[in-house]
Amino acid sequence: MKAVFIDLSGVLYIGREAIPGAREAVARLQASGLVIRFVTNTSRMTRRQILESLRGLGFEIHDEQLVTAPSAARDWFAERGLRPWCLVHKAIREEFEALDQSNPNAVLIGDAADDFTYAHLNRAFELCLEGAPLVGIGRNRYFRLDGHFLLDAGPFIRAIEYAADVEAVIVGKPSKTFFEQVLRDAGCSAGETMMIGDDVEGDIEGALKAGLQACLVRTGKYRPGDEHRIDGDFRVEDSIVEAVDYLLGS
């Protein structure tokens, strides 16, 4: 194993608390010589805010080690010269300020929280019906925050796909394209890389389909029986602590 990709929410922390032993586990990885990338679909914080939050929780994270789905989405639109209509959380709107958003000819959907109103969803539907490409920041069904399970962007993306008879381009997990982008950034091949995550579909199934090895942890959004919901060979560990023990052979 030469590289490890690690999800954030539910793996390193839950809400505003680090998972017991997670800080020490990350420190061990940082000292191991493995190539590390922290990969997230989190779309309620900017990249800068995520780094500040992780460091505030005591995690040693280098700037270049963080890869986010919102930044991948911004680059996707910029490369194609498209003008997105952005239905995203108000906290990350600044991530897309450099893009021309006048007279939109594309749609971006992320976790927009209370902005998932009928009017906003219908605007996305109308644009897609007119031929605008639909781009999603991940396809996660739900996430966990402050002890509650909350709807993520996935169900709303699926609704627009169904209504407008289109297929979304997914720029975060579980997209194979996203994993391949992170592999290129890390300079490693899929077969020598392990993904650690708490989402059996977004993290584990997505990684397996991209050719990576994977480890599901029983923290965060994990629910009993998740390991039986998908096909494929992958490890299951109680937390990132045990996952790192396995990786480092201790």
Q: For the segment 158-198, what is each residue's pLDDT rounded down to a tens digit?
A: 999 999 999 999 998 999 989 998 999 999 999 999 999 99
**Among 143, 170, 197, residue at a domain's last position:** 170
**pLDDT, average across residues 5-18:** 94
Q: Are 136 and 161 in contact (CB under 8 A)?
A: no
Statement to judge: residues 31 and 97 lie in one domain: no
User: Is residue 218 situated within a structural domain?
Assistant: yes
Tokens of 195: 């993904």
Alpha-carbon gap, residue 161 to 157, rounded angstroms: 6
Together in a domain, 19 and 63: yes
Residue 10: give the domain boundaries. Answer: 3-69+182-248
Evaluate if residue 250 carries a pLDDT over 80: no
How many CB atoms within 10 Å of residue 65? 18
* Residue length of the chain: 250
**Residue 153: helix, strand or coil by DSSP?**
coil
Instruction: Judge whether 177 lies within some domain.
Output: no
Q: Looking at the domain assignment, is residue 176 inside a domain?
A: no
What CATH number does residue 144 fall under? 3.40.50.1000
190-247 pLDDT per residue, tens: 999 999 999 999 999 999 999 999 999 999 999 999 999 999 999 999 999 999 999 9
Domain contains 175: no
User: Of 18, 21, 228, 43, which is closest to residue 136 (Cα–Cα)?
Assistant: 43
Where among 170, 205, 226 does a domain terminate?
Answer: 170
- When the pLDDT of each residue in the chain is averaged and rounded to a whole number, the result is 94
- Tell whether 47 and 113 lie within a shared domain: no
